[in-house]
C-alpha cells in the first residue's frame, strides 16, 4: 500500500496534469482520431458470415503507436526537469519525504492522468468500433496494450527527466527516443537486413525488444493467432512460442520497459541528491 505522503504526491501530480493544457489537447486529439478511424475506417460488412478487421484495425493501431508514446513521453520528460528548473523540486524535497516517495508520486500521478485521458478517448472510439462489429476481446486487448505502452513511455520519460539537467534537454531526449522507437530504429533494421544481410533472428528480436513493435505484435497476436500476417518470421515466432506465447512475450516486454527505465530513473534521482 502507498503511504500517505506518496498518495498526497500522486494527487498533487494528478491535479497538476489535469490543470495542464497538454492533457486536454492530447485527450481531444486521441478522441477525435479514434472516433474518425472507428467511424470511417472500419467496414461494417460481413461476407458470407466472415468479418475481417486486420486492415481496418491497422488504423487504430497506428493511432495508438503514434499518439500514446507522445502523450506519455513528453509530460513525463518535462515533469521532474521542469520542477527542478523552477525550484519547486527543492522545496518538495525539503519536506519530510523521501526521493522514492517523490518519484513514485510523480509516476503514479502521471499514470493516473494518462489512464483517464486514454480511457476517455478509447471508450468513445471503442463504442463506435463495437457497433461496427469489432469483437469485444479485441477492443479490450487493444485497450490493455495501450495502457501498457503508456506505462513504458511514462517510465522512459521520467528517466530522461531525472537524467537531463534542463527541461529542454529532457524533451529533446524524449523526442529522439520517440523517433528511434517509433520509426527510425525499425527502418534501420530494415536497411541492415536489405543492405548487409542482417540475420532474420534480428528482426524477430527487434520486434520484442522495441516496446512499440512489441505493442504491435501483441495486438496482432490477438487479431491473427498464427501471425501469418507477419510472414515467415511470424510463423517461426509461433513455432517457438505458440500463439499465446507471442502475445505473452510482447506483454512481458512492455512490462519490462515499464519497470526498467522507472527503476533506473529512481536510482538516478537518488544519486543526483
The Cβ of residue 44 has, within 10 Å, a number of other Cβ atoms equal to 10
Q: Between residue 9 and residue 68, which ones bind another protein under the rule CB under 8 A?
A: 14-15, 18-19, 43-48, 50-56, 58, 61-62, 65-66
Phi, psi of 231, deg, nearest 5: 70, -160
Helix (H/G/I), strand (E/B), else coil: 89 = helix
- Which of 74-82, 153-161, 207-215, 260-268 is the region at the interface with another protein (rule: CB under 8 A)? 207-215
Identify the H or E element spanning 241.
helix 231-271
Cell of 262: 522507472
Q: Between residue 149 and residue 178, which ones bind another protein under the rule CB under 8 A?
A: none
CB of 264 to another protein, least distance (A): 26
Q: Build a one-symbol-per-residue string for 208-247: x at contacts with another protein by CB under 8 A, - elsewhere.
A: ----xx--x---x---x-x-xxxxxxxx------------
Q: How far apart are CA 57 and CA 142, in angstroms?
A: 10
Largest CA distance in the chain: 68
Q: Between residue 88 and residue 147, which ones bind another protein under the rule CB under 8 A?
A: 116, 119-124, 126-128, 130-133, 136, 139
CB of 210 to another protein, least distance (A): 10
Q: How far apart are CA 75 and CA 62, in angstroms?
A: 21
Provide the 8-state DSSP code for 166. Answer: S
> CA 103, 108, 114, 116: dihedral to nearest 10 degrees?
-160
Instruction: Among 190, 259, 263, 272, indicate the residue that binds another protein (CB under 8 A).
Output: 190
Which residues in this chain contact another protein in the complex, by CB under 8 A?
14-15, 18-19, 43-48, 50-56, 58, 61-62, 65-66, 116, 119-124, 126-128, 130-133, 136, 139, 182-183, 186-187, 190, 193-194, 200, 203-204, 207, 212-213, 216, 220, 224, 226, 228-235
Amino acid at each position: 500500500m502507498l503511504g500517505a505522503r506518496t498518495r498526497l504526491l500522486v494527487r498533487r501530480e494528478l491535479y497538476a496534469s489535469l490543470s495542464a493544457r497538454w492533457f486536454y489537447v492530447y485527450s481531444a486529439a486521441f478522441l477525435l482520431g479514434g472516433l474518425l478511424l472507428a467511424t470511417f475506417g472500419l467496414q461494417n460488412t460481413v461476407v458470407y458470415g466472415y468479418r475481417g478487421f486486420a486492415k481496418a484495425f491497422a488504423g487504430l493501431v497506428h493511432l495508438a503507436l503514434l499518439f500514446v508514446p507522445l502523450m506519455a513521453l513528453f509530460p513525463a520528460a518535462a515533469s521532474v526537469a521542469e520542477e527542478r528548473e523552477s525550484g519547486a523540486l527543492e522545496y518538495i524535497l525539503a519536506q519530510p519525504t523521501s526521493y522514492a516517495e517523490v518519484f513514485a508520486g510523480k509516476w503514479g500521478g502521471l499514470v493516473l492522468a494518462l489512464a483517464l485521458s486514454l480511457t476517455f478517448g478509447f471508450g468513445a472510439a471503442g463504442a463506435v468500433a463495437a457497433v461496427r462489429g469489432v469483437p469485444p476481446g479485441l477492443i479490450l486487448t487493444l485497450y490493455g496494450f495501450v495502457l501498457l505502452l503508456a506505462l513504458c513511455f511514462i517510465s522512459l520519460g521520467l528517466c530522461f527527466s531525472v537524467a537531463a539537467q534542463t527541461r529542454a534537454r529532457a524533451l529533446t531526449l524524449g523526442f529522439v527516443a520517440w523517433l528511434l522507437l517509433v520509426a527510425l530504429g525499425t527502418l534501420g533494421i530494415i536497411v541492415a537486413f536489405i543492405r548487409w544481410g542482417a540475420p532474420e533472428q534480428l528482426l524477430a528480436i527487434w520486434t520484442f525488444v522495441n516496446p512499440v513493435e512489441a505493442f504491435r505484435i501483441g495486438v496482432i497476436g490477438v487479431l491473427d493467432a498464427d501471425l501469418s500476417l507477419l510472414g515467415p518470421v511470424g510463423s517461426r515466432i509461433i513455432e517457438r512460442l505458440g500463439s499465446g506465447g507471442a502475445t505473452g512475450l510482447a506483454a512481458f516486454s512492455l512490462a519490462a520497459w515499464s519497470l526498467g527505465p522507472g527503476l533506473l530513473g529512481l536510482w538516478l534521482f537518488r544519486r543526483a541528491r
